[in-house]
Structure 1
Amino acid sequence: MFAIVGAAGKVGFATSSTLRDAGMLVKAILRDVSKADRLREIGCEIVIANLLDSKALVKAIGDADTVQIILPPSPEVRGPEEEMRRGIESLANALEGACPKRILAISDYGAHITHDIGMPTLCRTFEERLSKLNCHKVFLRSAEYMQGWGRAIPTAIESGTLPSFHDPLDMRFPTISAPDLGVIAADILLQPASEKAVEIVHAEGPRRYGDEVVPRHQRKGAFESVMSPSLAELLIKANDAQNEGGLVDVESRTSEVRYGTTELLNTLRPLVPPQYIELKI
């Protein structure tokens, strides 16, 4: 049986759906029962557990021999870094108690970098803690989600260009649709585990994109308009590291890279008001 922690999210639901399509038994672990209906409709067993309650997670995972986990940030939480660190420890403790044979952890491009670069550094901490577990581990390091660019749609509609925090303009940056990442994760889980104790796989979309740069001094305000200042700081650090180079290519050349199929425009199209549907991005 496969247990998917965070099965109601875009990544988790795509993994769950793909596994069910393959005839696999799936236990969907989520914290909000109101999001259970579509998972129940595709035949998942539903279990409710809070990410920060390791005892409840042990019980929720139960006899599942394979577990997929993700550490989602909470934009509305005042101290997301502290909460994510608590989540790392809670998940690790739960996995130690449940003793699955295999785990797949959704991580981040840049988790190989040792100095503080914000969000990828939390994913590095996540990987380091999980590395202590006595089971087969897959760290699926993802490019940034295309869905995160949706908050730039109003500006894109007004100006005809998609603004970004990436710089310089001639650099192409990887991104991936979150459901594509879930499908890639399911495909990995459906394959036999390798002989390596730890596998590192990278995932990005079918091609890379350039965009119109938002000046560095404007980025803090742009992020903080849609999330807490502390989460904004984590993301600004990650963008700075990416813009300096070496974050997305150096380490991925030494490991497997998988590619999604969804183009950026197709991801953003549902977020665009109908009268602007012909917008070229």
Structure 2
Amino acid sequence: MLAILGATGKIGRSTIGELRRSGAPVRAIVRNSEAARDLQAVDCEIAVADIGDGAALRRAMQGATAVQVICPASGRAEDASTEMRAAIAAIVGALDAARPQSVLAISDYGAHLASGTGITLTFRHLEDELAKLGIPLTVLRSAEHMQNWGRLVKRAVQSGVLPSLHHPVTKRFPTVSAADVGLVAAEFLLSEEQMPLRIVHVEGPERYSTEDVAGILGELAGRRITAQELPRPAWVPALVGGGLSTGYAELVATMFDAHNAGRIDVEAGVGDTRSGKTQLRQVLAALMADG
């Protein structure tokens, strides 16, 4: 039995779809069973557990041979770092009680850095805490998700301007479709090979700049769209305006400072890198269709 935490998210759903196509038994761990009806339709066992409820998580993980975990996001929490660390403690405690044969963690590019990376430091903490368990651990460090542009697609098409926290807009950065991360995760969950610690970086088939994103959006929309650097003082207000708490927005802004300084990337000389197959154009076209 393979247990998937965060089963209703983009990565979780992709992992589960691939596992079920391979005939593997899957237990989807969800906060709300109503949101998992489609997972029940593909013969997933459903376990309901809030991310901060250690006892419920232990029950949900019990008897699983492998567990996929993801760092919980608290985008509306003012003290997001503290809240997310508390959730990580609950997850790690549940894993320690359940003692599966292996764990696969979805992490982030830059998680090897010990300071100055904002929200990415939470992924560093997740990796550190999981490593203490002594359970064979695979860490998938994901590049920025292509789907994150969905927050700006409609605005860019309407205004002709794509604002960006990536500076300069000509700088190419690693990015990946969330679904491709799930497919790579499924591959490792299905593998019988176990290692004390395995680190894998996952990004798309090529790297893009914000200018590339604007150009592709413009072609899809049939109009010129210009990439524009959002001034640093405007970052936090813009993120808060998009629905994040001030505390979380400040952590994201610090992460982009590190990104723009060239610090958020593959950890040199560590692990290997897998490339997803989904091109940015495919994702942007789907985001436009959904919008």
Alignment of 1:26-65 (within 5 A): 26-65=26-65
Alignment of 1:82-161 (within 5 A): 82-161=82-161
Task: For residue 167 of structure 1, give the secondary structure of its aligned residue in structure 2.
Answer: coil
Alignment of 1:1-281 (within 5 A): 1-194=1-194, 196-211=195-210, 212=227, 213-226=229-242, 227-249=244-266, 251-272=267-288
Task: For residue 112 of structure 1, give the secondary structure of its aligned residue in structure 2.
Answer: coil
AA at the equivalent of 2:265: V
**Matches of 1:228 and 1:262, distance apart in 2:** 31
Deviation at 1:223, TM superposition (A): 0.9
Deviation at 1:51, TM superposition (A): 1.0
Deviation at 1:206, TM superposition (A): 1.4
Deviation at 1:273, TM superposition (A): 5.7
AA at the equivalent of 1:258: R
Cα distance 1:252–1:15, how it changes in 2: closer, same or farther (>3 A)? Answer: farther
Deviations 1:176-217 (A, max 9, x none): 1111111111012112234x3100000111111111322212
**Matches of 1:159 and 1:199, distance apart in 2:** 45
Deviations 1:33-52 (A, max 9, x none): 11111100111000101111
**Matches of 2:111 and 2:37, distance apart in 1:** 34
Deviation at 1:256, TM superposition (A): 0.8
Task: For residue 27 of structure 2, give the secondary structure of its aligned residue in structure 1.
Answer: strand
Cα distance 1:163–1:266, how it changes in 2: closer, same or farther (>3 A)? Answer: farther
Task: For residue 36 of structure 1, give the secondary structure of its aligned residue in structure 2.
Answer: helix
* Unmatched 5+ stretches in structure 1: 277-281
Deviations 1:87-108 (A, max 9, x none): 1100000000000010001001
Cα distance 1:163–1:253, how it changes in 2: closer, same or farther (>3 A)? Answer: farther
**Matches of 1:12 and 1:5, distance apart in 2:** 7
Cα distance 1:44–1:245, how it changes in 2: closer, same or farther (>3 A)? Answer: same
**Matches of 1:254 and 1:114, distance apart in 2:** 16
The more displaced of 115-124 and 73-82 is 73-82
* Unmatched 5+ stretches in structure 2: 211-226
AA at the equivalent of 1:137: L
**Matches of 1:253 and 1:161, distance apart in 2:** 38
**Matches of 1:266 and 1:80, distance apart in 2:** 32
Q: Using structure 2 for the length normalisation, give the TM-score.
A: 0.89
Task: For residue 68 of structure 1, give the secondary structure of its aligned residue in structure 2.
Answer: strand
Deviation at 1:118, TM superposition (A): 0.9
**Matches of 1:71 and 1:253, distance apart in 2:** 24
**Matches of 2:163 and 2:41, distance apart in 1:** 38
**Matches of 1:234 and 1:128, distance apart in 2:** 19
**Matches of 1:222 and 1:76, distance apart in 2:** 14
Deviation at 1:252, TM superposition (A): 4.7
- Answer whether contact 2:72 2:88 (CA < 8 A) is retained: no
AA at the equivalent of 1:9: G
Task: For residue 64 of structure 2, give the secondary structure of its aligned residue in structure 1.
Answer: coil
Q: Using structure 1 for the length normalisation, give the TM-score.
A: 0.92
Matched residues, number: 273
- Answer whether contact 2:54 2:90 (CA < 8 A) is retained: yes
- Answer whether contact 1:155 1:163 (CA < 8 A) is retained: no
